[in-house]
Structure 1
Amino acid sequence: MQPLDTHGEPAGADLVVVGAGVVGLATAYAAARRGLSVLLLDRSEGPVQGTSFANGAQLSYAYTDAMAGPSTWKQLPSMLFGRDGAFRTRWSADPDFWRWGLSFLRQTSAARLQANTLATLELALESRTALHALLQRHPIPFYHATSGKLHVYHDAQALQGARAMMAVKRPFGVEQHLLDAGQAIAAEPALAAMPGIAGAVHSPQEEAGDPFLFGVGLLQVLQKHYDVRTRFGFDLRHLQRRGREWLLQSCTGEAIQARRVVVCTGIDGAALLRPLGVRVPLMAIKGYSFTAPCGANAPTASITDTSRKLVFCRLGDRIRVAGLADLNHWDPKPDPARMEQLIAMARASMPEAADYALAANRWAGLRPVLPWSSPMIANVGDGLVCNLGHGMLGWTLAMGSGERALALAAAR
C-alpha cells in the first residue's frame, strides 16, 4: 500500500477516484489505461466492500427497464404500505424523502419509462463492450459466463407489458424472445419446479459473474500493470475547493490536494456533494442476498422471478439469490427477520435451486437509486465529476460508467 500524502500536500496523481467499488475501479481503469496516474481512495480496508460486494451478480445488459412506469400506480399501495412483501417503505418527515418520491412519480408516464429505459440501455451496451475489451487484455477469473437470463412472469397482463418493452429495445440490437410456460421450461428445465408460470422473456446473451472477485482481480491488474496507487481506510468527510485544486480531508484530519476528482461513493455521494451546492437526489433502497450450494435442480441460466422480485444467479457450484427492496432504509446491517423472509421466498419460488439449509454470506447493501433509474455522470465543479446513482445495475453499468466519467474528467 502506498503512503498517503498528508497535510494538504499534492496527491502526485493526475486523477483521484473516490470509492473502490466496481464503479470506482472501472473509472480508475479507464483513466490508467490512457496513461493517467491515478490515486484510488476508499474508507474500507479493501476494495468492493459496499453495494458491489454481494449483489445479484447478474450482468443485465438487455433488461434495463426503469423502476417507474404506468404500472407503478397499481403497485403503489403495496410499495408504500406493504410490510411482508418484497417491497417496503420507511416513512420519514425528511423533505428529501418527499422530494425524491414526487420526482419518482413524475417518471411514471409511458414516455418517461421508454426514455429512461433506453438511456440505461445505451450505457449498458457500452459497458458490455468495455468489459469484453478489458477481459481480452486482462483475463480476470470471476465465474464469468454468458448463461442467458429468463424473466419469469406469473401474470398474463404483465407478460404483455414485457412484450411491449421488448419491441422498444429490439431496434438497438437487443435479442429477446417471448416464451410461453412450456418453452420457458424447455429453455431452463429448473423452472419446472416453479408454480404458476405464465411465460418468460428469454435474453440469451445476458451474462453473470461475481462482482467481488472481479473487483479484487481488477485492482490487482491496476496495481501490477498501471501502477495505480491506493489508500484504503481514508474516510473522506470534506471536499473543498482551494484555489485551483480540490482538498480532500478525512475524518482523522489527513488531507490530499488534487486537480481532478471523480466521486464514485454510491449512496454516500449525495451527502458528500451537498455542501458544495450540488444536489444528487439519491435514495437508499436496501437489498439482501445470500449464497448457497447448488441444489438438486439448480438453474444454469439466471432467473428473475418477477412476482417475488427475486434473482437466482449461478456462480460455479453456488447460487446467489438476491431480492427485497426496502425504500428509505439507510442502515446496511442485515435484518435477520428480513433475511429469513428472503430465504423462504426463494424456497417457495425454486425449491430445488439451492441447498437453502446451507445459505451463507448473508448480506445487505444500499442501492443508490435516482428517480429516473439511470446514473448521474456529470461535471459538477471545475475538475470534479460525479459517477453516482446506479441503483440495481451498478455491476452491469460499471465499465461503461467509468469510460463516460473519465471522458468528462479528461476533457476538463
Structure 2
Amino acid sequence: MADIAVVGAGVVGVSTAYVLAREGHRVTLIDAAGEPGTCASAGNAAQLSWAYGDAMASPTLIRHLPAIVLGRDPAFRISWQADPDFLIWGLRFLANAPAARWWANTRTILDLAAASRRELAALLVETDISFDYRLAGKLHLYGDAASFRAARVTVDRKNTLDLDQRMLNRETAEEIEPALRRYQGEIAGVVYTPGDALGDAAAYCRALTTHLVREYGMITLLGRRVCGFRTAKNGRLCAIRFLDREDIAFDCAVLAAGPGAPLLSHDVPEARAIRPVRGYSLTIPLAVGAPRVSLTDVKRKLAFAAIGNRFRVAGLADITAAGAGFDTGRFDALRTAASSVLPEFQVAGPDDTIWSGERPTTPSSKPIIRPSRRIRGLYLNIGHGMLGWTLALGSARRVADLIAG
C-alpha cells in the first residue's frame, strides 16, 4: 500500500483514483478547480465510443488540410503560433497521417477502449453511482456516397476485432432511430454501432469522487494548484509543490491533469507533446421525439446525445494556443450547424448550457501512459484528446499496473 497523489480530477484523474483505491492504495485527489469534472469533462459529447477510436491524424484529414489551412472547413480551425512546440507537434501530426500509421494508432486506441469497457462493467457492479449511463448505440451519418464507401474498409477491420459495426442505408437507420426522418442533412449511408454507450462525464466525476471518499477514505484537495514536484537526491519523487500551501510528501504521484499538464512541462517535458484542441457544446432540455440513439454527423463533425432529461450537441476542433478561451463566433457556428440538421436547435432558451474546453491531444492521438523519464515515482496519464471519456478507465488500469511493477 502506497500514499499516491493523483493530480487532476477530470474523468481520467478520478478514474485513476478509483482503480488505485480499489487496489488498496491511500489516494489523495488534487485539482485546481473547486469540484471534480469542471474542465474538459464538463461538456463533452457524452459518448462512450468503444468502437470509434479513430486517430485524428489520418489520410482523410490530410486531404482536407488545404481547406482547413485556408479557413474553409467549418469543423476544423488552426490558429498559427510562433512556438517551436507547435511546429514540432504539427510535423509529428503529419507524420502520423499515412494510412498504415493511422491504423496502427487507431488499433492501439481501440485496445485501450476495450480495457475501459471491461473496467466500466466492473465499476457498475461495484458501485451504485448515477451518471445517466445507458447503452444507447451510435449512428455515424455519412453525407456522400464516396465517404460512405470508403468507411467500409475500416468497418471490416473493426469487425475482425470483434467490434460490431454495420453498414446501413438511410431507411434502415430510420427504423432504428425514427428521429432521423426529420434530419435535414444529407445521409448517403450510416454505420451503426449497437454496443456503444453514453453517460454524463461530469456527473461521473462528482459521484465517483463522493464514493471514493465514503468507501475508501480518499482525501481530496480541491481548489489547490500544483506548481511542481520535489525530488530527493536520488531523483525520486518525495513531495508535491503547491502555489498556495506547503509541500505534501507522497510515495508516488500520477499526473492526470489533462489540459493543465503542459503547465508543468518544466518538470514533465513529455507534456510538451500535447496541444489543446478546443471543442464546444450546447445542452438543452430534452424535447419530445429527440433522438435516443447517439448520432455523429461525419461531414459536420457534430455529435448528438440524449443524456437523461437533456440533449447535447458537441463538435468543432480548434487547434489553438492554450488558454485561448471561449470564442462566441465558433460557438455560433456550432449552433448554426446543429440547427441546419435538427431544427430543435434554432431557438435559444433560458435553460441552454454552453461549454467550451481544451482537449489535450498528442500528434498520434494516443495518450501518454508511462513513468516519467525525469522523476522516479511520477507516472503520466495525459493526452487523451477527444476520447478521454472513452479511454479513462482503461488508462487508469494501465497506470495501476505500472505502479504495481
Residue in 2 that maps onto 1:286? 278
Pick from 155, 163, 170 the counterpart of residue 181 of structure 1.
170
Residue in 1 that maps onto 2:263? 271
For residues 26 and 244 of structure 2, what CA distance do their matches in structure 1 show?
25
For residues 48 and 31 of structure 1, what CA distance do their matches in structure 2 show?
18
Residue in 2 that maps onto 1:128? 117
Give the direction of change, closer, same or farther, for the CA distance of 1:322–1:248 in structure 2 (3 Å limit): same
Pick from 218, 228, 231 the counterpart of residue 241 of structure 1.
231
Give the direction of change, closer, same or farther, for the CA distance of 1:77–1:84 in structure 2 (3 Å limit): closer
Answering whether residue 203 of structure 2 is matched by residue 203 of structure 1, we say: no
Give the direction of change, closer, same or farther, for the CA distance of 1:62–1:335 in structure 2 (3 Å limit): same
Answering whether residue 299 of structure 2 is matched by residue 310 of structure 1, we say: no
Give the direction of change, closer, same or farther, for the CA distance of 1:60–1:81 in structure 2 (3 Å limit): same
Residue in 1 that maps onto 2:13? 24
Asked if the contact 1:179/1:199 (under 8 Å) is kept, the reply is yes
| Paired residue secondary structure (2:267) | helix
Q: Which runs of 5+ in 1 are unaligned?
A: 1-11
| Paired residue secondary structure (2:343) | coil
Residue in 1 that maps onto 2:210? 220
For residues 332 and 393 of structure 1, what CA distance do their matches in structure 2 show?
21
Question: How far does residue 53 in structure 1 lie from its aligned partner after superposition?
Answer: 1.0
Residue in 2 that maps onto 1:8? none
| Paired residue secondary structure (2:63) | helix
Give the direction of change, closer, same or farther, for the CA distance of 1:281–1:115 in structure 2 (3 Å limit): same
For residues 230 and 378 of structure 2, what CA distance do their matches in structure 1 show?
11
Question: How far does residue 129 in structure 1 lie from its aligned partner after superposition?
Answer: 0.8
Pick from 368, 372, 376 the counterpart of residue 382 of structure 1.
376
Asked if the contact 1:114/1:168 (under 8 Å) is kept, the reply is no
| Paired residue secondary structure (1:275) | coil
Answering whether residue 89 of structure 2 is matched by residue 100 of structure 1, we say: yes
Deviates more, 1:273-282 or 1:30-39: 273-282
Question: How far does residue 280 in structure 1 lie from its aligned partner after superposition?
Answer: 4.2
For residues 250 and 224 of structure 2, what CA distance do their matches in structure 1 show?
15
Asked if the contact 1:297/1:353 (under 8 Å) is kept, the reply is no
Give the direction of change, closer, same or farther, for the CA distance of 1:220–1:208 in structure 2 (3 Å limit): same
Q: 1:376 is aligned with what amino acid?
A: I
Pick from 125, 139, 157 the counterpart of residue 146 of structure 2.
157
RMSD between superposed Cα atoms in Å = 1.8
Per the normalisation by structure 2, the TM-score is 0.95
Question: How far does residue 314 in structure 1 lie from its aligned partner after superposition?
Answer: 0.5
Question: How far does residue 213 in structure 1 lie from its aligned partner after superposition?
Answer: 0.9
Q: 1:198 is aligned with what amino acid?
A: A
Per the normalisation by structure 1, the TM-score is 0.93
How many percent of aligned residue pairs carry the same amino acid?
40
| Paired residue secondary structure (1:115) | helix
Question: How far does residue 357 in structure 1 lie from its aligned partner after superposition?
Answer: 3.7
Residue in 1 that maps onto 2:399? 405
| Paired residue secondary structure (2:355) | strand
Runs of 4+ in 1 over 4 A off after TM superposition: 353-356
Q: 1:303 is aligned with what amino acid?
A: L
For residues 374 and 15 of structure 1, what CA distance do their matches in structure 2 show?
24
Residue in 2 that maps onto 1:350? 342
Question: How far does residue 302 in structure 1 lie from its aligned partner after superposition?
Answer: 0.3
For residues 73 and 276 of structure 1, what CA distance do their matches in structure 2 show?
30
Asked if the contact 2:32/2:222 (under 8 Å) is kept, the reply is yes
Asked if the contact 1:262/1:409 (under 8 Å) is kept, the reply is no
| Paired residue secondary structure (1:172) | coil
Asked if the contact 1:384/1:409 (under 8 Å) is kept, the reply is no
Q: Which runs of 5+ in 2 are unaligned?
A: none
For residues 149 and 229 of structure 1, what CA distance do their matches in structure 2 show?
37
Deviations 1:360-397 (A, max 9, x none): 22110000011111111001131111000100010111
Give the direction of change, closer, same or farther, for the CA distance of 1:354–1:396 in structure 2 (3 Å limit): farther
Q: 1:242 is aligned with what amino acid?
A: A
Answering whether residue 13 of structure 2 is matched by residue 33 of structure 1, we say: no
